[in-house]
Every structure is written in C-alpha cells, then in structure tokens.
Amino acid sequence: MSSRVHNFNAGPASHPLPVLEGIQAEFLDFKGSGMSVVEVSHRSKTFEEVIEDAAARVRRLLQLDDTFHVLFLQGGASLQFAMVPMNLLPEGRSADYVNTGTWATKAIKECTIQGKMANVVASSEDKGFSYIPKEISFSPEAAYAHITSNNTIKGTQWTSFPDTGGVPLICDMSSDIMSRAFDAAPFGLIYAGAQKNLGPAGVTLVIVRQDMLERVPKDLPTMLKYSTYVAHSSMFNTPPCFAVYTIHLVLKWLEETIGGLDKMEEINREKADLLYRTIDTSEFYRGTAETESRSVMNVTFRLPTEDLEKQFVQEAAQHGLIGLKGHRSVGGCRASIYNATSLEAVKALVGFMEEFARKNG
Ligand SMILES: *Cc1c(COP(=O)(O)O)cnc(C)c1O
C-alpha cells in the first residue's frame, strides 16, 4: 500500500495498518454471517462477542480488577466533562481540578455550568500551560480530583500521577490511554475519546470503579447515568458498533502483535526520544513544553518564523508526512505520535526535519 502517508494527525489519528487491512478483509462478510459488521444486529451473538471481548481486553491490558466496569459511551470526552460532575459530584460538595490546558479548562467549565463547585487547586496557565504543576495540595474533603493525563494541544503529560491522599482521581486520558501501563487503583473514573489512541471517533471508553456508582443521582436522564451503562453492559441502546469493533481490533493488535503496554511504552519512548533529540540538538527547532513535562504522544515545537512553519508543514506534506500543523489555538508545529504511528514514520520525519533545517537554517 505505497499510497499511504505517514500520519501525524492529532485526532482522528492513524490506525495500525494490520487493523485497517483486517477490517477490509472481513468487511463484506463478518465471521461467516454473510453480512458486514455494520449490518449485523447489536443484539446478535456475533456482535456481543465483539463488545465483550473489547471490554475484556481493556481489563487485561490495564490489569483492572473486578471493582472496575469497562463501558463504551458516545458523546466524546466532551460529554464526560459534563457527566463526571453530574454523576459524581454530590450536592453541597466540591471537586478539585488541575488546569493544564484547553481540555482541562473545558472540563472545569462544564462543572461550574451546572452550578457545582470546581476548586482549581493548581494551574499552569501562568506559563501558557507549558508544564505540569508539582506539589499540589489536594483538599481531603473533595468529592474527586480531576486531571488530564496528556495535554494534546500543548504537548505536556503527567509522567506519574499525583497522590491525592485517597480522594478518587478522575482522569481524562483521551490522548494517552493504552500508551503505557499504570496502577488503576487510585482512579475512580477514567475516560477517553477513542479517536486519538484507541480507534475511530464516535465512541468513548469509560472505566468506572464500583464505589463511584453509589453517588449517581436517581433523577438524571437515563442516558446520562453511568449506572445505566453498567446495568446494560453498554447496550441500553444501540452502541456505536463499528467503532467498538475497530477498538476491539486495535486492542487485539496491542496485545497480540505489540505484546502489551510495557512493550508499547518502550516503543513510544523510543519514538519520542528520537524526535526530542532532533529538536534539542538543533538551533533551528525549539520545543514548547518544559523538558520534564514533555509528552510522549504529542511533540510540540516551533521554527524560527511563522513563515518557515508554514513552509515546513507544506513541504512535509509533499514528502508524505501529514498533520504537522499545531492546534489552531496555539500555532507552531505538532507531531502526534500515538501507538499506531510507527518508528519508521518518526524516522522519516526526523530525516525530513534535519534536511529542512539544513536548507533553511
Ligand atoms: C481530543 C481531546 C478531547 C476532546 O475529545 P472529544 O472526543 O472530541 O470530545 C478531550 N480531552 C483531550 C485530552 C483530548 O485530547
């Protein structure tokens, strides 16, 4: 498939090629059903096996014990910004939030919009969200503490998760879920829109701990309650079947081809190190995130001028290197190097960056 480019898009983003080929191969006749996966009933045994196996693989990959429920929702991470306080922040209590960028800011807004108390315990806004705050004092009485594990736009990432002293952590892991192994025990809820590191847009992975469900108010609309998804194994209504099916194949690839999250993390580190080394050893490129807060998933950098940045993005595209423009809110350049972006793709990008710097530096 020589017509395929190296894809550095931030989301929707690249998928593992064997997954796309697998979809293509069985698209017209799914598992001998004589129907496409987009045509089978979501209540059929065929599809039930897919969604159950997807959840089982999430469980195995993240080593979740049975206090956790693995759910598939719609509405993206953005709906979770609202559903988290709606379900988990009881009347008269407050929640701690750490503001590390655009997405965290939106999460805070969706809490306050409901007239609920979001207590911003730390923020990196003073330096343009270029770092992850340290030594945060979380409130012992907070209903939960909300963080964003990877800041897709600014290219910062928590290297380890903060100690909240027993207050349940709630985490937006949209752009780094399944990129590394971590201990899930301190988390009350984890959510991730699929389109960065899990599969196609249209489905959101939610992992919720059993004790959190006791807080869900009875008077919420059915579709906005986590307990509905738990009670109906994510099938109260029609789930996004095709997206769930694709996630299932991506997780299978992670387990069986890559060999799990430790191995995935090793590969991801190698890719990120290669890019950051290229940036650090050049006078031409400048990383925008503080060194110790740098993301392994989204590498953000600037060139000497905005004109050169524009030229860089254009010429890169001519070389089959796609999606290197920074987020429209911040400008500059960004290479998103999620799980599915190969080491070969990163090597091709590094080669191009070195040549571009030589020609234009
Ligand atoms: C992309 C992104 C979002 C928004 O996701 P939607 O699924 O489009 O709502 C939220 N948080 C983070 C960290 C993201 O990267």
Exactly one of 116, 154, 158, 196 is catalytic; which is it? 196
Residue range(s) defining the domain that contains residue 52: 18-258
**Cα-Cα end-to-end distance for the chain:** 34
Render pLDDT for 272-285 as a digit per residue (tens, 0 to 9).
999 999 999 999 99
Same domain, 301 and 336: yes
Give me the CATH number covering residue 265.
3.90.1150.10
State CA 124 to chain mean position distance: 20
Atom from ligand 1 closest to the CA of residue 195:
7
Same domain, 229 and 323: no
Q: Is residue 314 a part of any domain in this protein?
A: yes
Residues belonging to the chain: 361
Rounded distance between C-alpha atoms, residue 10 and residue 330, angstroms: 14
Q: What is the pLDDT of residue 74?
A: 98
Q: What is the full per-residue pLDDT of the chain (361 aa) written as tens digits?
A: 468 999 999 999 999 999 999 999 999 999 999 999 999 999 999 999 999 999 999 999 999 999 999 999 999 999 999 999 999 999 999 999 999 999 999 999 999 999 999 999 999 999 999 999 999 999 999 999 999 999 999 999 999 999 999 999 999 999 999 999 999 999 999 999 999 999 999 999 999 999 999 999 999 999 999 999 999 999 999 999 999 999 999 999 999 999 999 999 999 999 999 999 999 999 999 999 999 999 999 999 999 999 999 999 999 999 999 999 999 999 999 999 999 999 999 999 999 999 999 999 8
Same domain, 42 and 187: yes
Does the reported pTM lie above 0.85? yes
End-of-domain residue from the set 237, 258, 279: 258
End-of-domain residue from the set 223, 258, 293: 258
- Taking the alpha carbons of 250, 255, 259, 260 in that order, is the dihedral positive or negative? positive
Same domain, 168 and 268: no
- With a CB cutoff of 8 Å and minimum separation 6, the contacts of 87 are 212, 215, 216, 217, 220, 224, 225, 226
Same domain, 237 and 306: no
171 CA to middle of ligand 1, Å? 12
- With a CB cutoff of 8 Å and minimum separation 6, the contacts of 188 are 88, 144, 168, 169, 170, 208, 209, 211, 212
- Contact between 247 and 204 (Cβ < 8 Å): no
77 lines ligand 1 (CB under 6 A): yes
- Contact between 122 and 136 (Cβ < 8 Å): yes
Work out the angle between the directed axes of helices 102-112 and 76-88 (0-180°, nearest 10).
40
Rounded distance between C-alpha atoms, residue 185 and residue 189, angstroms: 10
Q: Is residue 146 a part of any domain in this protein?
A: yes
CB atoms within 10 A of CB 323: 21
Query: What would the two tokens of residue 7 be?
Result: 């894809």
- Contact between 196 and 8 (Cβ < 8 Å): no
Q: Is residue 10 a part of any domain in this protein?
A: no
74 lines ligand 1 (CB under 6 A): no
Give me the CATH number covering residue 161.
3.40.640.10
Q: Is residue 338 a part of any domain in this protein?
A: yes
Number of domains in the chain: 2
**CA dist 77 → 72, 159, 163, 301 (Å):** 12, 21, 24, 25
Same domain, 300 and 237: no
CB atoms within 10 A of CB 142: 21
Q: Is residue 269 a part of any domain in this protein?
A: yes
Q: Is residue 12 a part of any domain in this protein?
A: no
Atom from ligand 1 closest to the CA of residue 173:
13
Same domain, 23 and 74: yes
For atom 4 of ligand 1, which residue has the closest CA? 77
Same domain, 143 and 196: yes
Same domain, 149 and 284: no
DSSP string, 294-342: B-SSEEEEE-SSHHHHHHHHHHHHHTTEE--BPPTTT-SEEEE--TTS-
Render pLDDT for 206-221 as a digit per residue (tens, 0 to 9).
999 999 999 999 999 9
End-of-domain residue from the set 258, 290, 321: 258
Same domain, 240 and 273: no
Most ligand 1 atoms within 8 A of CB, residue of 73, 150, 152, 300 to mutate: 152
What is the three-state SS of 251-282?
A: HHHHHHHHCCHHHHHHHHHHHHHHHHHHHHCC
Four-CA torsion 285, 149, 153, 70, nearest 10 degrees: 130
